[in-house]
Amino acid sequence: MSFVLIEAGGLPCYRSSLLDAFPEVVHGFFGRQGGVSPEPYHSLNLSFTVGDQNAQVVRNRALVQQALELTALASATQVHGCRETLVTAAPAAAAEELPDADILITGQPGLGLLIKQADCQAVMLYDPVRRVVANVHSGWRGQVGNILGKAVTGLQKSGSRPEDLIAAISPSLGPCCAEFRNFRQELPVELWSYQVRPTYFDLWALSRDQLLAAGLQARQIEIAGICTRCRGDQFFSYRRDRNTGRQGAVIGLRD
């Protein structure tokens, strides 16, 4: 099992082989290529809050929506918290986002859940039994709060069983680049075992372990294993560039 690079509607994007096994699911982990934004947001920036012009972001989002043949895209203001939102419809205006949430859940066909990231993880979850998808914005602050455990609990509350869930972890900051010089202040002691060399941490392994602890099966978890900071041509990276755009990870149910 692995991620594969494809082109959807002219946009390069990665897909998870695990999720690809379900024809009713549409998903894509996009990079920075194929959009209309100028430097330093070149070019497929999907965030309204990094300094790019809204009209360009709206155009980029339309390109992503068309590439996946979805009816609408929904996103929220991401706040590195653990709050979840059940999304039943996209916001009325193209430049509008749902209020603060880092976990998006829907069972509505045609509606794509968009997580914006530049080093943080987007973690997609799918329940093939109940046909519900979730997309989680999981940065290190979210990981400290066990946001993935909370996302699984949120799905359980609506009837999902953790052992049924499929999970796919996006390109994001790898153990090569996830440096925390102040980890003694920033990370709780139970996470220090994820240190792979002095001050560098394996946040991919941490997410996998948090999903396992929540009850998922190891064979139903797939990690892209691609570091956004190392791949400047393909991805936006906040750690590398600071003033930059955000790529998107989108999952939905086919209309």
Minimum distance between the CB of residue 138 and Zn ion, rounded to whole angstroms?
17
Token digits of residue 255: 């209309």
Q: Contact 3/15 with Cβ under 8 angstroms? A: yes
Minimum distance between the CB of residue 197 and Zn ion, rounded to whole angstroms?
13
Minimum distance between the CB of residue 206 and Zn ion, rounded to whole angstroms?
16
**Smaller CB distance to Zn ion: residue 126 or 204?**
204
Minimum distance between the CB of residue 239 and Zn ion, rounded to whole angstroms?
9
**Smaller CB distance to Zn ion: residue 190 or 233?**
233
* Strands of the sheet with 121-127, listed across from one edge: 84-86, 103-106, 132-138, 121-127, 166-169, 221-223
**Smaller CB distance to Zn ion: residue 174 or 248?**
174
**248 beta partners:** 116
**Smaller CB distance to Zn ion: residue 205 or 230?**
230
Minimum distance between the CB of residue 147 and Zn ion, rounded to whole angstroms?
22
Minimum distance between the CB of residue 8 and Zn ion, rounded to whole angstroms?
25
| Residues near Zn ion, by CB under 5 A | 174, 176-177, 227, 229-230
User: What is the CB neighbour count within 10 angstroms for residue 96?
Assistant: 11
**Smaller CB distance to Zn ion: residue 108 or 207?**
207
**Smaller CB distance to Zn ion: residue 45 or 172?**
172
